[in-house]
Chains A and B, each alone.
Chain A
Amino acid sequence: MSKEFTFEIDGRLVKAVQGDTIMQAADAAGVYIPRLCDTEGLEPQGSCRVCVVKQNGRSVSACTQPAIADSKVENETEEIQGYRRNLVRMLYHEGNHLCPICEASGRCELQAMGYRLGITQATKYPYLQPVRPVDASHPDIVLDTNRCIFCGRCIRASRDIDGKHVFEYVGRGIHKRVGVNGDRLAQTNVELTDRAIDLATCPVGCIIQKGKGFFAPIGQRQFDHKPISLGVAAVDPEEAE
């Protein structure tokens, strides 16, 4: 039988079962730890570092690090929120994010995370303005890598849930981007019903479904009135109504 124990997050006592990650225990207790690459139903990957917390003083990613009995976890402290702010800012600066003209605006987790962390102004970092392709070859789906944040959610969803391997990383370092298994999306076996294409999978406006853009009016979008938090993640705008 699994062993139960407790630990603290920002002074609050939280229960966990042996083998739980810090994130799993926090979720079960209703404590929100900010995250971007982790989402329900996919194996954690620990790459975005937005979920970094301090466990007994050591920085670890909450989505992959097992909870430890009687440990003290710091989550939304000023110091850690500061790190998160910098990470999220860098994500903005690495890609081409023009929120006012992006159809993901209002349901985008990156944008919502920016708001939650209080990022309201341009920052000191230079905009890299990378030249990245838009693949609109598929009749139903577009991949606009300008907005990709390399969370790998599409890769894991396609591989682990759809069993297809449609998406993968290509290139290295600064040139790394999400590519597809084939020359273009149209040549892959991707389908609109794939979990990888579900609007809840891609946290930003990188994987989009054709002809649905801007169907949700301002004021009725996912994050128009609620900040990103537990249970308030991106969903299909049509379902959100």
Chain B
Amino acid sequence: MAKTRVIEIDPLTRVEGHGKVTIHLDDHNNVDEARLHIVEFRGFERFILGRLYWEVPVIVQRLCGICPVSHHLAASKAMDSIVGVDRLTPTAEKLRRLMHYGQILQSNVLHFFHLSSPDLLFGFESDVAKRNIFGVIEAHPELAVKGIKLRKFGQEVIKLTAGKKIHGTSAVPGGVNKNLSTAERDYLLQDIAQMRGWAQEAVDIARGYTLEHMETVRGFAAFNSSHMSLVREDGAMDLYHGVLRAIDASGNVIFDQVDYREFNDYLMEEVRSWSYMKFPFIKRRGNLDGWYRVGPLSRMNTAGFIDTPLADEAHVEFRASTNNQPNHMSLAYHWARMIEVLHCVEKIDELLNDPDLQGDELLLKGERREEGIGVIEAPRGTLFHHYRVDENDQVSFCNLIVSTTNNNEAMNRAVTQVAKAHLSNRKSITEGMLNQVEVAVRAYDPCLSCATHALGQMPLDVELYDAQGELLERKLRS
């Protein structure tokens, strides 16, 4: 009997954490299905049980080495609810926002310049030895320096707002523990004009790439899907706070103006036997059609406008490139990501000029509640934190839906589509072709270690079935 061939790409060389893709071929060397597997576990939902609620915003940052601020803030928002605070003082909200814009800026920049620009600048099938950040530094030294400095600026914003570049402590239940001193403000302001210019250049590069390679972009891991994000009540893009909005592939509203504390009425998570990462879906549309995408691309699709002028202009152009219809192209994530970078720089500028940040009303306290839900737009998309806290102040329940989990189905589809288009009927598998699969996954910027939060360290069990459901091969990894 002919056996299905499995091609493994492991690990994805430039995705934080480790991922594993298996591509399943049939007897005729056609791709049957491709799956993205997650092999790293941290067991946070378990670990957090019994801990004290005010520790949670600090503890959850350990979930992710690349966007700890998002977890810090989502958990803080949930804990604001626990201490009965629905609206922070202006100083507290603005300090948190500033921190968040710094975070999105640095994370998006890191992804674009360090992880993805090699693919875009040199082409997916180019020499692997050159297709990395060192290749970029060699071929485009100026660009590499700008990327590094933009990211550093984001990190400085985080450091001055959170206390540390990574794993700060400034967001506490009900507010923050510090404001921004005038010295800190002036330090950041001196570079802002430069950053704005570089952010605009980054948008130009990403837009230029997308428009010049429209044919590739359109044919590469592009598929219709729904999109979801937080938006401000008036429809503006809002990365820190707002209501949930989901649209279908044609742009029709599935739900809008949803208070995120009620997300459980709208979303469900499906468990599939082959993956430790769950598959969320929109309840109303069922588990087959209810999947959706999140993140920069989705935010461009869901937002009616952007409330900063330069990013809004870029957004208008982005929307026009698909005739104001939702953009479904995975590679357009890069362009979207750079528009967000520009938006963040504009927002940081706006906030640095806001005297509220020097205010000293930092903390509020209300009536203690048992349940808290915090949602934020993290760099990779909508991030949900849901907790219950018992009468002793100890966490008794925790569920997180991280951005990458929201994109789980989409990433699997992207990989399958690319695999089908490029690997079927070919006898020899080139490095460039394998990399195309990676490029598809990387467009979603998955941070795989935080996307799985099952119990403790588990060995990964890879099983391979034929069309009749017969197990052909099984691999265990510890």
What residues make up the interface of A, taking CB atoms closer than 8 Å to B? 100-101, 103, 134, 136-137, 142, 208, 210-211, 213-220
Residues on the A chain within 8 Å of B385, using CB: none
Report the nearest B residue to A106, measured CB to CB.
B169
Q: Is B218 an interface residue (CB 8 A)?
A: no
Q: Are A103 and B55 within 8 A (Cβ)?
A: yes
Could you list 30 A-B pairs, sorted by A, with CB under 8 Å? A100-B58, A100-B62, A101-B55, A101-B58, A101-B59, A101-B62, A103-B54, A103-B55, A103-B58, A134-B50, A134-B394, A136-B392, A136-B393, A136-B394, A142-B52, A142-B393, A211-B54, A211-B83, A213-B54, A213-B172, A214-B54, A214-B57, A214-B58, A214-B169, A214-B172, A215-B172, A216-B177, A217-B163, A217-B169, A219-B163
* B residues 38-91 touching A (CB-CB < 8 Å): 50-52, 54-55, 57-59, 62, 83
Q: Which residues of A contact B392 (CB under 8 A)?
A: 136-137
User: Which of chain A's residues have a CB closer than 8 A to the CB of B162?
Assistant: 218
Q: Nearest residue in A to B177 (C-beta to C-beta)?
A: A217
Complex CA–CA separation, A137 to B392 (angstroms): 5
Binding site for A on B (CB under 8 A): 50-52, 54-55, 57-59, 62, 83, 162-164, 167-170, 172-173, 177-178, 392-394
Q: Which of A213, A217, A218, A220 contacts B55 (CB 8 A)?
A: A213
With CB as the reference atom, state the residue of chain A lying closest to B166.
Answer: A100
Choose from A134, A142, A214 the contact partner of B177 (Cβ within 8 Å): A214
Cα distance A171–B172 when bound, in Å? 36
Q: Do residues A218 and B169 form an inter-chain contact, with CB atoms below 8 A?
A: yes
Report the Cα distance A218→B165, complex, angstroms: 11
Point out the residues of chain B lying under 8 angstroms from A101, CB to CB. Answer: 55, 58-59, 62
- Max chain B CB contacts within 10 Å: which of A100, A214, A219, A220? A214
- Not counting A101-B59, A134-B394, A136-B394, a sample of 17 additional A-B residue pairs whose C-beta atoms are within 8 angstroms of each other reads A100-B62, A100-B167, A101-B58, A101-B62, A103-B54, A137-B392, A142-B393, A210-B52, A213-B55, A214-B172, A216-B177, A217-B163, A217-B170, A217-B177, A218-B162, A218-B170, A219-B163
Q: Is the CB of A218 within 8 A of B58?
A: no
- Contacts A101-B58, A142-B52 given; does A218 touch B163 at CB 8 Å: yes
Chain B interface, >50% SS class: loop
CB of A103 to closest CB in B, whole Å: 7
Closest-CB distance, A132 to chain B (whole angstroms):
11
CB contacts (< 8 Å) of A218 on chain B: these are 162-164, 168-170
The minimal Cβ–Cβ distance linking A223 to chain B, given in whole angstroms, is: 14
A237 closest partner in B (C-beta): B177
Minimum CB–CB distance for A128 against chain B, Å: 18
How many Å from the CB of B335 to the closest CB on chain A? Answer: 36
Q: Nearest residue in A to B167 (C-beta to C-beta)?
A: A100
Query: Measured between C-beta atoms, what is the minimum distance from B329 to chain A in Å?
Result: 40
Residue of A whose beta carbon sits closest to that of B368 = A211
Question: Within the complex, which residue of A100, A136, A216 is in contact with B52, where a contact is CB–CB below 8 Å?
Answer: A136
Report chain B residues within 8 Å CB of A100.
58, 62, 167
Chain B hits for A134, CB < 8 A: 50-52, 394
Separation in Å of the A31 CB from the closest CB of chain B? 34
Chain B residue numbers with a CB within 8 Å of A217 are 163, 169-170, 177-178
CB-CB under 8 A from B58, the residues of chain A are 100-101, 103, 214
Residues on A with beta carbons closer than 8 Å to the beta carbon of B170? 217-218
How far is A103 from B52 in the complex, measured between Cα atoms in Å? 11
> B167 — which chain A residues lie within 8 A by C-beta?
100
B83 partner residues in chain A, CB cutoff 8 A: 211
A100 to B166, CA, bound (A): 10
Complex alpha-carbon distance, A197 and B99, angstroms:
34
Q: Which residue of B lies closest to A136 (CB)?
A: B392
Instruction: With CB as the reference atom, state the residue of chain B lying closest to A216.
Output: B177
Inter-chain CA distance A214–B52, complex, in Å, is: 12
A103 to B392, alpha carbons, bound, how many Å?
18
Complex alpha-carbon distance, A103 and B168, angstroms: 12
